[in-house]
């Protein structure tokens, strides 16, 4: 900015030549301090700035991109593209979580891991998608833990699985309106039957099989999805490769 050129807060400091500039009388004190000019304020034309309101206030989507952790935003951008491919009754779940994460949650720190997390890197190495790449940038910052109901007596499951929240309670964004997280299974591990009231969409980042009370065991493949209706009993299992999958639930 030019020395002494006074611009209202909130207005882009670019100088627009040819625009009307109104000068007011300058006090003796200001004369000593240098020249003072005051631009006539005009509201920005409607629709001129994508995502901004006519008053120049950023929409929630634009504000989120400006304030959210960059790696989280990149992951959510890739997840949005992947969730747009969900069809049938799961499409509503996919659209709802995307709509809700337009608002930024409370940033949170994580960084706990379990020995089974050694399987994350091999799983990601076999998944050459942009979504997997964006998740790879986050996975080391997550708080990985076991399912609350896991029993140490069941050593295969106790040592063979981990979950982590990305957006949700204890996630990189602490919030209660959505759960966006990840599950990891070591090879030949079964994640037992469970259910929960919210509907759920899984996006696999690896081979693996999913079952629910209305569907036989199915591997949707990379780029596919699984939809679990509200309250339905469901499970998943890894074959000879680790299973890595993202899940999305509006709460
Ligand atoms: Fe589930």
Give the span between the Cα atoms of 125 and 136, in whole angstroms.
Answer: 10
List, for residues 144-173, the tens digit of each pLDDT value: 999 999 999 999 999 999 999 999 999 999
Q: Provide, rounded to the nearest whole percent, the portion of the chain with pLDDT above 70.
A: 74
Select from 202, 182, 169 the least CA-distant residue to 119.
182
Band (61; pLDDT cuts 50, 70, 90): low
Supply the DSSP symbol for 89: T
Describe the chain by its helix, strand, coil percentages, rounded to 5: 25, 25, 50
Select from 132, 157, 134, 137 the least CA-distant residue to 147.
157
Q: What is the pLDDT of residue 50?
A: 35
* Domain 66-250 classification at class level: mainly beta
Residue with tokens 């997997």: 132
Q: How far is CA 1 from the centre of its chain?
A: 37
In the chain, beta strands by DSSP E: 21-22, 38-39, 106-107, 144-145, 161-167, 173-174, 178-185, 190-194, 200-204, 209-212, 215-218, 226-228, 234-237, 243-250
Report how far ligand 1's centroid is from the alpha carbon of 43 (Å). Answer: 49
Report how far ligand 1's centroid is from the alpha carbon of 195 (Å). Answer: 6
Report how far ligand 1's centroid is from the alpha carbon of 95 (Å). Answer: 18
Give the predicted TM-score (pTM) of the model.
0.76
pLDDT at 32 over 50: no
Report how far ligand 1's centroid is from the alpha carbon of 106 (Å). Answer: 24
DSSP 3-state assignment of 207? coil
List, for residues 166-196, the tens digit of each pLDDT value: 999 999 999 999 999 999 999 999 999 999 9
Report how far ligand 1's centroid is from the alpha carbon of 235 (Å). Answer: 7
* Residues constituting the chain: 251
Report how far ligand 1's centroid is from the alpha carbon of 105 (Å). Answer: 22
Report how far ligand 1's centroid is from the alpha carbon of 73 (Å). Answer: 24
Select from 219, 225, 217 the least CA-distant residue to 246.
225
Report how far ligand 1's centroid is from the alpha carbon of 226 (Å). Answer: 10
Q: What is the pLDDT of residue 67?
A: 87
Report how far ligand 1's centroid is from the alpha carbon of 211 (Å). Answer: 11
pLDDT at 76 over 90: yes
CATH 2.60.120.10 domain position(s) in the chain: 66-250
Band (58; pLDDT cuts 50, 70, 90): low
Band (110; pLDDT cuts 50, 70, 90): confident
Q: What is the pLDDT of residue 141?
A: 96
pLDDT at 125 over 80: yes
Average pLDDT over residues 82-111: 96
The residues with which 250 forms a beta bridge, in sequence order, are 178
Report how far ligand 1's centroid is from the alpha carbon of 196 (Å). Answer: 7
Select from 90, 44, 54 the least CA-distant residue to 250.
90
Give the span between the Cα atoms of 123 and 204, in whole angstroms.
Answer: 11
Q: What is the pLDDT of residue 34?
A: 37
174 Cβ contact partners less than 8 Å away, ≥ 6 residues apart: 105, 106, 107, 108, 168
pLDDT at 23 over 80: no
Residue with tokens 């992951």: 75
Report how far ligand 1's centroid is from the alpha carbon of 163 (Å). Answer: 11
Q: What is the pLDDT of residue 29?
A: 44
73 Cβ contact partners less than 8 Å away, ≥ 6 residues apart: 64, 65
List, for residues 191-244, the tens digit of each pLDDT value: 999 999 999 999 999 999 999 999 999 999 999 999 999 999 999 999 999 999
Supply the DSSP symbol for 119: G
Report how far ligand 1's centroid is from the alpha carbon of 168 (Å). Answer: 14
Q: What is the pLDDT of residue 95?
A: 98
Give the span between the Cα atoms of 183 and 203, in whole angstroms.
Answer: 10
**DSSP string covering 36-61:** --EEPP-PPPTTSSTTB-TTSPBPHH
pLDDT at 27 over 60: no
Report how far ligand 1's centroid is from the alpha carbon of 212 (Å). Answer: 10
Average pLDDT over residues 37-43: 36
């Amino acid at each position: 900015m030019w020395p002494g050129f006074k611009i209202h807060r909130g207005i882009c400091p670019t100088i627009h030549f040819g625009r009307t500039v109104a000068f007011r009388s300058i006090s003796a004190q200001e004369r000593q301090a240098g020249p003072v000019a005051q631009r006539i304020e005009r509201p920005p034309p409607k629709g001129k700035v994508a995502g901004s309101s006519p008053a120049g206030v950023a929409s929630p989507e634009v504000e989120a991109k400006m304030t959210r952790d960059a790696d989280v935003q990149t992951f959510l951008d890739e997840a949005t593209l992947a969730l747009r491919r969900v069809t049938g009754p799961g499409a509503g779940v996919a659209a709802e979580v995307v709509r809700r994460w337009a608002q930024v949650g409370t940033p949170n720190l994580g960084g706990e891991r379990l020995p089974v997390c050694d399987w994350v890197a091999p799983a990601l190495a076999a998944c050459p998608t942009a979504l997997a790449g964006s998740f790879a940038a986050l996975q080391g910052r997550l708080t990985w833990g076991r399912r609350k109901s896991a029993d140490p007596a069941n050593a295969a499951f106790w040592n063979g699985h981990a979950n982590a929240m990305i957006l949700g309670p204890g996630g990189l964004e602490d919030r209660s309106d959505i759960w966006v997280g990840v599950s990891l299974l070591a090879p030949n591990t079964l994640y037992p039957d469970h259910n929960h009231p919210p509907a759920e969409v899984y996006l696999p980042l690896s081979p693996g099989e999913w079952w629910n009370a209305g569907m036989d065991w199915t591997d949707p493949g990379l780029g596919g999805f699984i939809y679990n209706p509200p309250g339905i009993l469901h499970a998943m299992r890894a074959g000879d490769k680790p299973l890595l999958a993202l899940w999305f639930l509006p709460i």
